[in-house]
Amino acid sequence: MASVVVANAALGGAFERVFSLLYEAVTDVINKTRMYESILERLKDRLDLMRPLVAEMVLSNRERDLSEERTKRLIERMVKGEKRVRKYSQLSWWKYLMRFHYAKKLIQLEKDLSGFFKVELPAWNAMNVLESVKDIKDISQRLSRRLSLTRLNSVPSCVVPRLRTDFVIGLDVPLKELKKQLLAVEVSLLVLTAPGGCGKTTLVKMLGHDDDIKGIYEENIFFVPVSKTPNLKVIIQKLLGKDDLSPAFQSDEDAIDQLEQTLLDLVRQNKPILLILDDVWPGSESLLEKFAFGLPNYKILVTSRTAFPRFSFTYKLKPLNDDDAMELFCHSAGLQDSSSSYIPDGEMVQKIVKGCGGFPLALWENHSVGDSDLLECLQSSLEFKGKEIILRECFMDLGSFPEDQKIPVAALIDMWSERYELVEDGIHVIANLHEIDTRNLANLVVKRKDGSLVGSHCSEDFVLQHDLLRELTIHQCSQEPIEQRKRLIIDISGNNFPKWWMEQRLQPINAQLLSISTDETFSSSWRNLLPAKVEVLVLNFQTKNYCLPGFVEKMDKLKALIVTNYGFFPAELGNIQLLGFLPNLKRIRLQKVSIPSIFKTPPPLRNLVKISLIMCNIGQNFRNCNIEISHTWSNLMEIIIDYCNDLLEFPTWLCYIVSLKKISITNCHKLFSLPIEIRELTSLEVLRLSSCTNLSELPESVTSLQNLRILDISDCLSISKLPKHIGKLRNLEEIHMTGCLRLRNPLPPSTMDLEKLKRVVCDKESAKLWEAI
């Protein structure tokens, strides 16, 4: 027996040393880097929470109560975690994928620590409490009496409230799904998440009164509303049925201990427990963890507008579908009553229901779009603090794009890289979008799953925003006078300009972001405007012909231009030469437009660093453009060409823009060759040619690209072999070749010389070619 104690004592000491090294590494890196700081800060919060308990555990003589196998495994993971944190801090800013890779590992480490904290340490702590009590039978009886008193004198807030109405529509299926997920064996804490007004509280009330749930948990279902600034002692006081005259808790720890002992007594009596914490606000993860005791047959259900990614299990409640929304609205508005004094026509009803966007609160309260009560309900979701203020700004910018349309992540990267000086490769952009998605303010849809640097430009990823949340953005913006707004979002129907625009007498507007959306009846007859400080211009249109506004030439501070045609066919884009008057323009994104004129006589854009052409008709002028463009666009670093169906050949003139670091030509199915002159691109780091199905080979001259790090030929169906001397690409780190169905020949022997190659993404058949390497 003694040998076992010694062994476990040594194990405890090792655990303490490794824990300290990990803690020092995380703290040090947080002070040095700001990449993925939220992940590191969450990890540090976890370690801060564990630190005093770990120290106490190791100093005591109860290390024998820890699971030896589990502790050893956690020690190994913490050792690896410490190394990964150190390595993470040494990565260059542009190594997005590597950061993403390490970030996922750190998230897993955080979950491991969470599991240890929830299971092992509470068990050890419970043993300490039990051993310190001289008469266990006596304390058990006292706890039972306290429990009985609690049940008899239970305060109303701990009982699941009754529904205010018997008419609930559209929640039957979510109820079944939520119940099934909650009762899964592996689930101990489940977060029910949705925007405000979607019916989260109604759903958990239905769950609390469900016959199946009551049959399992009987009277041991506790319901507690959690305020924006929760008081832990007050919450536990309600749970334990204490009144204001009861002795106060000595501390939060004392309150938690008493609650744990009460719940532990219930567990020993084989009584399952369900704790419902309703309306938990962002930043309350640590509060939730205090209730996670790791007890068997004990589950926690949380409702929140935030998904809390720290926790493993989430149920996302969606707005009502059209049929359910119409039924709920008609019932709440009394339109099913034939005696109603006023019944609006069907078109008006449909318009109101659509405006409510499937939000039960809006439908039940009979609100239309823009109603202040509903918007105030949603507005509370925008209360960010400290460093998170930028998340509010990013959310507000989403309103720059039309309703019911996909918002390309690549467009947001262009916008936010200039507006907030975020990292070019989209590291912070993606992190912010994940947080916005977590808070149910938008839905981020990620198409490419291989997690590579190649995917960092996110051409296939997009964001969806609920119409009602866009209305919230516009409502928030409208609270300030026109000339004082940071962002000016204008929707023009036909040729009906806003009244303020018609009346303004050339008074400068100070908005840094200007978004103008027009419909299919707009004539492109622009009225004058003085946008003196605009840095980002977003133009959304649907017409067959569209001209850039004449006032664009006055935007001498403009850094990013995003022009998107939401019509069915590519549209002619006029006034393109106005761009030559913009000395600070750095990014151009054009979608579904015909732009041969921009290459016939290229406007001088000496500060242009990135141009994106998406679903554009680029014409013969693109291929035959004068080679002098290399001087006109002398600082161009990135070009993206996606779904441009009239691109036949890689233009030779592009090979002489030696500043280029990234070329992405994707889904251009008629592209059949690359020029030998591609060797001139000596600064090129990323060459992406995915889904160019007619491209038959890579020229041997591509092996002269000594700075190339990433090569992507995924889904290039016609490529049958790699360049013979591919081994000359001594700095190549990644090759992506999934879906290269004809690439079945043995790899060139020079492939063995790719000393820096770290990652090959391919299908199973191609993987056999790489086995020797």
Q: Tell me the pLDDT tens digit for each residue of 88-135.
A: 666 654 554 555 566 666 677 767 666 665 655 555 555 554 444 444
More confident residue, 600 or 558: 558
Band of pLDDT at residue 357, cut at 50, 70 and 90: low
pLDDT cut 90: percent of the chain above it: 29
Mean pLDDT in the chain? 78
Distance CA 187, CA 313 (A): 7
- Smallest CA-to-CA distance from 446 within 463, 432, 431 is with 463
More confident residue, 547 or 318: 547
Length of the chain: 773
Task: Supply angle C-alpha 535, 541, 546, rounded to 5.
Answer: 90
Band of pLDDT at residue 689, cut at 50, 70 and 90: very high
Q: What is the pLDDT of residue 667?
A: 92
- Smallest CA-to-CA distance from 128 within 64, 47, 67 is with 64
Distance CA 239, CA 262 (A): 10
pLDDT at residue 8 greater than cutoff 80: no
Burial 253-269 (b: 16+ CB within 10 A, else e): eebbbbbbbbbbbbbee
DSSP 617: B
List the structure tokens of 467: 């119409």
Question: Helix, strand, or coil here: 224?
Answer: strand
Mean pLDDT along residues 752-760: 92
pLDDT cut 70: percent of the chain above it: 72
More confident residue, 451 or 112: 112
Distance CA 393, CA 421 (A): 13
Least confident of 319-328, 484-493, 617-626: 319-328
Q: Tell me the pLDDT tens digit for each residue of 244-298.
A: 556 678 888 888 888 888 888 888 888 899 999 988 887 788 888 889 888 888 9
Least confident of 33-47, 478-492, 686-700: 33-47
With the CA atoms of 183, 188, 189 and 192 taken in that order, what torsion angle do they form, in degrees rounded to the nearest 10? -10
How, if at all, do strands 571-574 and 593-594 pair?
parallel
Q: Are the C-beta atoms of residues 694 and 670 closer than 8 Å to each other?
A: yes
More confident residue, 26 or 174: 174
pLDDT at residue 563 greater than cutoff 90: yes
Provide the whole-model pTM: 0.65
Distance CA 108, CA 48 (A): 17
Cα 124 to its chain centre, rounded Å, is 37
CA atoms within 13 A on the CB side of 184: 15
Sheet holding 571-574, edge to edge: 545-547, 571-574, 593-594
Q: What is the pLDDT of residue 178?
A: 92
Distance CA 477, CA 472 (A): 9
Burial 304-342 (b: 16+ CB within 10 A, else e): bbbbbbbbeebbebebbeeebbbbbbbbbbebeeeeeee
Identity at 456, one-letter amino acid code: S
Q: Is 404 left (phi over 0), alpha (psi -120 to 50) or beta?
A: left
* Euclidean distance between the first and the last CA atom of the chain, given in angstroms as a whole number: 51
Cα 736 to its chain centre, rounded Å, is 25
With the CA atoms of 262, 266, 272 and 273 taken in that order, what torsion angle do they form, in degrees rounded to the nearest 10? -20
pLDDT at residue 149 greater than cutoff 50: no
- Smallest CA-to-CA distance from 267 within 188, 209, 190 is with 188
Q: Are the C-beta atoms of residues 753 and 728 closer than 8 Å to each other?
A: yes
Task: Supply angle C-alpha 731, 732, 734, rounded to 5.
Answer: 145
Mean pLDDT along residues 663-692: 93
List the structure tokens of 194: 């949705």
Distance CA 310, CA 39 (A): 10
Least confident of 328-342, 349-363, 750-764: 328-342
Band of pLDDT at residue 191, cut at 50, 70 and 90: very high
Mean pLDDT along residues 212-227: 88
Q: Tell me the pLDDT tens digit for each residue of 647-674.
A: 988 888 889 899 999 999 999 999 999 9
Q: Which of 54-63, 333-342, 357-366, 468-477 has the highest mean pLDDT?
A: 468-477
Q: Tell me the pLDDT tens digit for each residue of 429-442.
A: 888 888 888 887 88
List the structure tokens of 762: 């391919």
Q: Are the C-beta atoms of residues 430 and 611 closer than 8 Å to each other?
A: no
Cβ neighbours of residue 541 closer than 8 Å, sequence gap 6 or more: 517, 518, 522, 563, 564, 565, 566, 567, 571
Indicate the domain borders of the chain.
Answer: 2-132, 137-316, 344-378, 384-464
How, if at all, do strands 638-642 and 610-614 pair?
parallel
pLDDT at residue 53 greater than cutoff 80: no
Distance CA 357, CA 355 (A): 5
CA atoms within 13 A on the CB side of 481: 7
Band of pLDDT at residue 767, cut at 50, 70 and 90: confident
pLDDT at residue 1 greater than cutoff 70: no
Fold exhibited by the domain 137-316:
Rossmann fold (3.40.50)
Q: Give the number of other Cβ atoms within 10 Å of residue 349's Cβ.
A: 16
Identity at 620, one-letter amino acid code: Q
Q: What is the pLDDT of residue 453?
A: 45
pLDDT at residue 14 greater than cutoff 90: no
- Smallest CA-to-CA distance from 612 within 589, 586, 628, 636 is with 589
Q: What is the pLDDT of residue 359?
A: 62
**DSSP code string of 453-500:** GGGGG-TT-EEE--HHHHHHHHHHHTTS-GGG-SEEEEEEBTTB--HH
Q: Are the C-beta atoms of residues 256 and 236 closer than 8 Å to each other?
A: yes
Cβ burial, residue 683 (10 Å; 0-12/13-18/19+): middle
**DSSP code string of 628-689:** THHHHTTT--EEEEES-TT--B--GGGGG-TT--EEEEES-TT--B--GGGGG-TT--EEE-
Q: What is the pLDDT of residue 71?
A: 66
Q: Tell me the pLDDT tens digit for each residue of 254-264.
A: 888 888 888 88
More confident residue, 596 or 297: 297
Least confident of 205-209, 312-316, 321-325: 321-325
- Smallest CA-to-CA distance from 740 within 758, 708, 765, 772 is with 765
pLDDT at residue 415 greater than cutoff 50: yes
Q: What is the pLDDT of residue 369?
A: 39
**DSSP code string of 571-612:** EEEE-GGGGGG-TT--EEEEESEE-HHHHHS----TT--EEE
What are the phi and psi torsion angles at 463 (to 5°)? Answer: -125, 140
Question: Helix, strand, or coil here: 699?
Answer: coil
C-alpha distances (whole Å) from 123 to each of 116, 259, 311, 346 are: 10, 15, 20, 62
Which residues sit opposite 588 in a β-bridge? Answer: 561, 611
Band of pLDDT at residue 150, cut at 50, 70 and 90: very low
Q: Are the C-beta atoms of residues 501 and 527 closer than 8 Å to each other?
A: yes
